Amino acid sequence: MNDRWNAYAAERIVLEPTADGPLSGLEFAAKDVIRVAGHISGAGNPDWLRTHSPSERTAEAISRLLAQGARLRGMTHTDEMMYSLNGQNVHYGTPVNPNAPDRIPGGSSSGSAVAVAAGLADFALGTDTGGSIRVPAAYCGVYGIRPTHGLVPTAGVIPLAPSFDTVGWLARDAQLLHDVGVALLNKTGKRAADAAGAKRNRAEEAADRGEPYGSLLPPA
């Protein structure tokens, strides 16, 4: 892949589909805060990357897309610790907005928006806490959606503000945006992740803060 747009933090990470489905033949990228088993999600910060271990499990959102026939290729850049709407990163450089190279791409799902706008990926996963999909989608001229909070499980996503963090997606056309949504949301048809996924997510959030998981449990 020729990433002249600087969209990718780890472009060689590839996960093959786990089944055939409506997304067969399509490739997607994912923001480098969405965990892949065996890979350290960097969150746009080299100290985070250096001090964390590879993930034990792949995020539920990625697993759902693989089960619908899509192929993951590459993890995309984000603003440092997902904390900006500009798309700039002092450590890894700012992804280039393909539709306005002299303008910022918007963030913090900057790499995902750029990968889609540049045609490097058919669609991409991002996260949106306060505009982090909607802003780069608008800046880069692609479609992006932040669904209802909790509709796509955040199990396996590095948290910023868990009460607001939402997994969403971006695509170049409205039909594909719809099709990806059907694939992501149709598995359970309910608002929150299953109890086991939610429990894993709480444990991972505690580990990210350096806390024992038991500290999140009410006293006996």
Sole residue written with tokens 């989608």: 137
Write out the catalytic residue numbers: 31, 108, 132
DSSP H helices, the chain, are 46-51, 60-67, 110-117, 134-140, 174-185, 195-208
Nearest to 171 by CA among 78, 63, 70, 86: 70
Burial class (CB in 10 A: 0-12, 13-18, 19+), 189: exposed
First-to-last alpha carbon distance for the chain, in angstroms, is 53
Burial class (CB in 10 A: 0-12, 13-18, 19+), 78: buried
d(CA 55, CA 89): 23
